[in-house]
Amino acid sequence: MFNEKVILMLLEGIRDTLYMTLVSTLIGYLVGLPFGILLYVTSEKGLHPNKIIYRVGDFICNVIRSIPFLILLILLIPFTRLIVGKSYGSTATIVPLVICAAPYIARVVESSLNEVDAGVVEAAKSMGASNAQIVFKVLLVEARISLLTGFTITTGLLLGYSAMSGTVGGGGLGDIAVRYGYYRWQTDIMLVTVLLLILIFQIIQNVGTKIATGLDHRKR
């Protein structure tokens, strides 16, 4: 059963899963982090309140987040094809993953920044700090543990979503599980992919938690 071919396929599956998860998390943060900062800054109690910008951002965030990922995956097929050239395979899956992740990340970032003590922000203001300095030297630094925890959770979420994309030919471990477990009734291979997904998830979560605890100077 587990001949060389299957093992090779599983290894490729791991590679593709990690590729999709990590790349979409990183690109997701490139979009979501500034988006989250924007939401924080323009919110009512933010550094530079702006009702219109906040409401538009808030609306976009909610709309995308209210679409189930599987439907988003299908909805975005024309768009994905436009960007990547095809609508199946790991690289193509990154497009809907990023679009799904970005507003989620924005919310996670916004809530992390909201956790920073308003008094500390006020202290920085009293020192003459500009809003940009407050964001980069105070908020992102003080919220870094919470941001890292958010990053870990997001990576875990995208790991799951990348597996979900297997149903429409997304590649990776999820794809293998669907093809062998669902279409061919080869439960053993499906179980192995599930175990591999659990293992990867555990590694991501543990590494994330370790780094966060190690960097935290609040309690020791």
Partner 1 sequence: MSEIEIRNLTKRFEVENNTVTALRDISLVIEKGDIFGIIGMSGAGKSTLVRTINYLEKPSEGQVFIDGTNLAELTERQLRKKRSEIGMIFQNFNLLEQKNVIDNVCFPLEIAGVKKKEAKKRAKELLKTVNLLEKERAYPSQLSGGQKQRVAIARALATDPKILLCDEATSALDPQTTASILKLLRQINENMGITIVIITHQMSVVTEICKKVAIIDNGRLVEEGLVEKIFEAPGSDAAKELIAGKDMRFSPLQSMDAERKIRIVFRDNSAYEPVISNLILKYQAPVNILKADTRNVGGKAIGEMILGLPEGEDLQKDIIAHLRDSGLLVTEVKEDV
Assigned token pair, 28 = 């997701």
Is 216 near partner 1 (CB under 8 A)? Answer: yes
Stretch that binds partner 1, among 60-68, 102-110, 140-148, 169-177 (CB under 8 A): 140-148
Contact between residue 40 and residue 113 where contact means Cβ atoms under 8 Å apart: yes
Binding mask 141-180 for partner 1 (x = CB under 8 A): xx-xx-----------------------------------
Nearest CA among 47, 42, 29, 212 for reference residue 106: 29
- Minimum Å gap between C-beta 120 and partner 1 is 5
Cα angle at 178 between 177 and 183, to 5 degrees?
A: 120
CA 26, CA 37: separation in Å to the nearest integer? 16
- Quickly tell me which residue has 């590729």 as its tokens: 19
The encoded tokens of residue 22 equal: 């990590």
Q: Which of 11, 51, 117, 199 binds partner 1 (CB under 8 A)?
A: 117
- 133 near partner 1 (CB under 8 A): yes
Among 5, 126, 183, 185, binds partner 1 (CB under 8 A): 126
What is the per-residue burial (b if ≥16 Cβ within 10 Å, else e) of 91-102? bbbbbbbbbbbb
Under rule CB under 8 A, residue 115 binds partner 1? no
Is the distance from CB of 41 to CB of 47 less than 8 angstroms?
A: yes
Does residue number 86 form part of the binding site for partner 1 (CB under 8 A)?
Answer: no
Establish if 50 lies at the interface with partner 1 (CB under 8 A). Answer: no
138 counts as binding partner 1 under rule CB under 8 A: yes
Selected from 51, 137, 184, 210, the binder of partner 1 by CB under 8 A is: 137
Q: Does 15 bind partner 1 (CB under 8 A)?
A: no
Confirm if 166 and 175 have CB atoms less than 8 A apart. Answer: yes
Phi and psi angles of residue 66, each rounded to the nearest 5 degrees, phi first: -85, -5
Is residue 82 near partner 1 by the rule CB under 8 A? no
Binding stretches for partner 1 (CB under 8 A): 117, 119-120, 122-130, 133, 137-138, 141-142, 144-145, 215-220
